[in-house]
Structure 1
Amino acid sequence: MIQDEKIVIDNLFEFWDFTGNLSKTILSAEDFKAVYPKNSDWPKRIFSLKNDMDPKTDVFEKISAQIGNGSLPNMLTLTESMSNLYQEDLSEAGFIPKMKQRGMRIDLSGLGFIEQPSEYKFKTVSGAAEADLFASIASASFKYQVDGRIIELLSANDHSIRLFIGYFNETPAACGLVFYDRYGNAGLHMIGTLPEFRGKGLAYYMTVHLMTACIEDGRMTCVLHASEAGEKVYLKLGFIPVKQIIGYSLPLLN
């Protein structure tokens, strides 16, 4: 695994681990971790497979069996490097690629001032009502259920994480957060915009706001994972593409 790929993925996996421990939904096994909330589709993930596993390991068969009996969520996230290494094992265990996101990185020390127009405002999430609002925006943006109780727990830990709601002409329309990992790197996560407000630059200016918050907190290395649509926004801001992450699932019968 290249160094940039490791920096980007370490932030994401630590964020999921942090969220799982905080919400008491973490599952830890010898070869992997998982977060499995009951009232939320996020962040239902299996992740952090050991990098030193034997390529002939049967861990994917074991994970497949546990997904089948309902004891693990049906989403396994791997780095592109791990995915390439275990492609045959994944296929034999029944896993198929479901989603891909591009890892990206930027050095904030060279970021120039970006003025934000007056119609865009950003507010730090505080308390249950704003946590529910953040969760509702995220749910509508990403088309999966986000539990406001998990968001509320995250918002109370301002030493590691900062959550924001974006407003367009005083109307709540976007969400986003920054997570600081143990290495001092900042990860941007859950940048979403309500469908009816897309095309107005909210994702761009939310990202700018999060990057500014990172600089204010003395963090110079910023990372994220981008959808195909979001990648264009981040390239415009100067993010450099790294390797992808790939989410695998089983085509389970209902």
Structure 2
Amino acid sequence: MKETIDLINVNIKNLTSLWQTASEPINSYFKEPKFDYSLIEYSEWPNKLWFNQEINKNTIALAKEKLVSVSTNLTIPYWDIHNSNSFEILEQNGFDLKFEQTGMSIKVNHLFTELKTLSLKKVSSEKEANLWAKLFYKSFGYFTNPILLTKSQKNTNYYIAYDQNEAVGTGILHTTNNVSGIHSVGIIPEQRRKGYAEQIMKLLMNQSIKINSDYITLQSSDMGKGLYLKLGFEEQFTIKNYALPQRV
């Protein structure tokens, strides 16, 4: 039980560290007593507000006050880890549930067979950052300011997936201590149903093993969960993502 709790905590730590790492170099990460938030203008990702403790009416009121004071919409992830129904406080205060994810992790000690034609290219130039942002938008429908990719690369690698010379998708590998978090594995619509997502995952997992990570974590949509279970990941907790209705 303790190991499960620890894995949940390191999963959340890796995720929030990614948001902080992406936004801090451009002075867009902010820390309040009850919550942290990333607010980047001209970008839809990461733009999150996350709590560092169990929520209550007071913390929600403070967060709501902050959200209505800024012009950029922020998503609030709620970690369903407290064995309570405190998420109901969000709903009672006008927040809408946008989507849910599942926190998952795996401890691996063997390399996966890689598809020879598929490769990952680390983003290392402005041109590649622009291409990554374009692929990310086509895959997920969220705009990311390309400047984030060139400013936050100390522990974060942004990858473009190529089938020979054709760009087909994206991925992020973010490391915190002995944990590798896999994020934003996306395939552009015209290249889906060809097995690329699985191959990208295997490449990223192999990279994690090569840098001696003890665990690999991710946050799955319902669509991706079957693939991650197939690769050996275990489900551990639910993330409910909320937002205030957009102001006109």
Query: Is the Cα contact below 8 Å between 1:163 and 1:177 reproduced in 2?
Result: yes
Aligned residue in 1 for 2:180: 186
Give runs of aligned pairs for residues 83-122 of structure 1, distance below 5 A: 84-109=84-109, 111=110, 113-122=111-120
Give identity over the alignment, percent.
23
Specify whether residues 85 and 6 from structure 1 end up closer, same or farther in structure 2 by C-alpha distance, changes over 3 A only: farther
Distance 1:100 1:189, change over 3 A: same
Distance in 1 (CA, whole Å) between partners of 2:15 and 2:102 is 12
TM-superposed CA distance for 1:177, in Å, is: 1.3
Q: Distance in 1 between matches of 2:144 and 2:84?
A: 31
Structure-2 residue corresponding to 1:78 = 78
Find 2:165's aligned residue among 167, 170, 177: 170
Q: Which residue of 43, 49, 52 corresponds with 1:50? A: 52
Q: Which amino acid aligns with 2:129?
A: A
Q: Is the 8 A contact 1:166 1:173 kept in 2?
A: yes
**Does 129-138 or 79-88 show the bigger shift?**
79-88
Unmatched runs of 5 consecutive residues or more in structure 2: none
Contact 1:107-1:221 within 8 A present in 2 as well = yes
Q: 1:78 to 1:123 in 2, by over 3 A?
A: same
CA distance in structure 1 between the aligned counterparts of 2:77 and 2:151, rounded to whole angstroms: 24
| Number of aligned residues | 245
Q: Distance in 2 between matches of 1:122 and 1:148?
A: 18
Residue 130 and residue 72 in structure 1: after superposition, are their counterparts in 2 closer, same or farther (change >3 A)? closer
How big is each residue's C-alpha offset from its partner over 1:199-237, in whole Å with a ceiling of 9 and x where there is no partner? 111111111111111111111210000111111111111
Runs of 5+ unmatched residues, structure 1: none
**Deviation readout 1:108-152 (Å, 9 max, x if unpaired):** 22x3x4322333122122111111111111111110101111112
| Deviations, residues 58-99 of structure 1 (Å, cap 9, x unaligned) | 121222233223266331111012594423321232112111
- The one-letter code sitting in structure 1 at the alignment partner of 2:186 is G
Q: Provide TM-score, normalisation by structure 1.
A: 0.89
Map of 1:21 onto structure 2 = 24
Whether contact under 8 Å (2:36, 2:52) holds in the other structure is: no
- Could you report, residue by residue, the CA deviation over 1:8-67 in whole angstroms, capped at 9, with x for unpaired residues? 1111011111212123211221110110100110001001x13266x4x41212222332
Instruction: Letter of the 1:149 partner, please give it.
Output: I
Amino acid in structure 1 at the alignment position of 2:187: T
Amino acid at match of 2:18: F
Deviations 1:146-165 (A, max 9, x none): 1111112234x2xx122221
CA contact (8 A) 1:46 1:72 kept: no
Aligned partners of 2:82, 2:76: CA distance in 1, in Å?
A: 12
Q: Of residues 111, 131, 139 in structure 2, which corresponds to 1:133?
A: 131
Root mean square deviation of aligned Cα: 1.9
8 Å contact kept, 2:54–2:82: no
